[in-house]
Amino acid sequence: MLDLFADEAPWEEPLAEGAIILRRFAREDAAALMAGVHEVSQQAPFRHMVTPGGHTMSVAMTNCGALGWSTNQNGYLYSPQDSLTGQRWPQIPSLFKDLCARASLAAGYADFEPDACLINRYAAGTKLSLHQDKDEPNLRQPIVSVSLGLPAVFQFGGLQRSDSLQRVMLEHGDVVVWGGASRLFYHGILPLKPGFHPLTDQFRYNLTFRRAS
């Protein structure tokens, strides 16, 4: 697939107060980031988690870091142990940490040190419904979200689910960082359209870095 923007330099696109899209920010590191994703998933396989209400999520997920995001019959939680393997989650690869540090600094959030990285894998038709990232105890810390592979439409709203939504296309290598006034804004991903990407095949991968302790 011909990439007409392969040589285009990264640029910043404001999204809301405290939120910004760093376009193309992760492109140069994309192949190494995907190698890290495959290394993590060999130790902690992708799985479709089941919500407390019994709904199987369409997006496949895994984690790396001291804590991993998960679900059970009681709700959503962070745990040091992968319930699927019985082992601790793999460590966050050093390249992941380096990219996250550079992105958070570029967005105005210095000294962000994540201890959790949720990795989502989207296939055609899969989506992520509108939600808030509110399971973290320290909501002063930002969210750093890295897109790899197929493009997807990102929805970014407000503090209420009913607030109006911005819809922006996120492409390979884009990084979204949000915190401060927009830390609890509702967000989601519309159903992924079929396609092919030379690095990720028929999938989109998303790395979401958080401070969960």
**Can you identify the CATH homologous superfamily of domain 11-210?**
Alpha-ketoglutarate-dependent dioxygenase AlkB-like (2.60.120.590)
pTM over 0.85: yes
Instruction: Report whether 78 belongs to an annotated binding site.
Output: yes
Instruction: Report whether 161 belongs to an annotated binding site.
Output: yes
Short-list 170, 177, 128, 165, CA closest to 153: 170
pLDDT (average), residues 82-102: 97
Instruction: State residue 52's pLDDT score.
Output: 86
Which SS3 state, helix, strand or coil, does residue 128 take?
A: strand
pLDDT (average), residues 97-125: 98
Instruction: Report whether 207 belongs to an annotated binding site.
Output: yes
pLDDT (average), residues 60-72: 96
Instruction: State residue 139's pLDDT score.
Output: 96
Instruction: State residue 181's pLDDT score.
Output: 98
Distance set, CA 146 to CA 4, 39, 73, 79, 170 (Å): 20, 17, 29, 22, 9
Instruction: Report whether 205 belongs to an annotated binding site.
Output: yes
Asked if residue 94 lies in contact with residue 114, where contact means CB atoms within 8 angstroms, the answer is: no
Instruction: Report whether 85 belongs to an annotated binding site.
Output: no
Instruction: Report whether 183 belongs to an annotated binding site.
Output: no
pLDDT (average), residues 182-186: 98
Instruction: Report whether 120 belongs to an annotated binding site.
Output: yes
The phi, psi pair for 30, rounded to 5°, reads -60, -45
Instruction: State residue 157's pLDDT score.
Output: 98
Instruction: Report whether 133 belongs to an annotated binding site.
Output: yes
pLDDT (average), residues 120-135: 97
How sure is the predictor about 2, in pLDDT bands with cuts at 50, 70 and 90? very low
Instruction: Report whether 98 belongs to an annotated binding site.
Output: no
Instruction: Report whether 55 belongs to an annotated binding site.
Output: no
Instruction: Report whether 186 belongs to an annotated binding site.
Output: no
Instruction: Report whether 131 belongs to an annotated binding site.
Output: yes
Instruction: Report whether 208 belongs to an annotated binding site.
Output: yes
Domain boundaries, the chain: 11-210
Instruction: Report whether 174 belongs to an annotated binding site.
Output: no
How sure is the predictor about 1, in pLDDT bands with cuts at 50, 70 and 90? very low
Q: What is the pLDDT of residues 154-172, one digit of tens each?
A: 999 999 999 999 999 999 9
Instruction: Report whether 206 belongs to an annotated binding site.
Output: yes
DSSP secondary structure letter of residue 127? -
